[in-house]
Amino acid sequence: MVLKTLEVLGPLHGYGLSRRISQISGELLFVNQGTLYPLLLKLEQEGAIASAWGTSENNRKARYYELTEAGRRQLQAETEHWDQTAAIISRFCKVTAGDLS
């Protein structure tokens, strides 16, 4: 979700990422700081995102994150894997007893 959000919206600070994920999910998902910041650190260490200090819309110092080329490739691979997993789950949900004979 983080990689896709950065792909679509461009560089964002952590709070902005959290808010956008909530908005995109229709307020069904809430990403707290205790979950988000360790993930951002991991993604940055892996090279999927890069960060730089900037000034937020509230004129506060904030770390902005953006997707790297490696992150785009990772997003592509994860999207393909998710699509495959969702297709498999969908098949199982549609199976009836008559299909197994």
Cα–Cα distance, 48 to 28 (Å, whole number): 26
Write the CB contacts of 82 (distance below 8 Å, at least 6 apart in sequence): none
Helices then strands, counting H and E runs in the chain, come out as: 4, 3
Residue-wise over 11-24: b if at least 16 C-beta within 10 A, else e? bbbbebbbebbeee
Q: pTM for the full model?
A: 0.85
Q: Which residues contact 97 (CB under 8 A, 6 or more apart)?
A: none
Residue type for position 24: I
CATH code of the domain covering residue 52: 1.10.10.10
Q: Is residue 101 part of a domain?
A: no
Whether 52 is covered by a domain: the verdict is yes
Question: Phi/psi class of residue 12: alpha, beta or left (left: φ > 0; alpha: ψ in -120 to 50)?
Answer: beta
Residue range 17-27: average pLDDT? 95
- Compute the average pLDDT of residues 12-41: 94
* Structural domain containing residue 37: 2-94
Confidence of residue 48 (pLDDT cuts 50, 70, 90): very high
Q: Count of domains in the chain?
A: 1
Q: Could you read off the pLDDT of 80-90 as tens digits, one per residue? A: 999 999 999 99
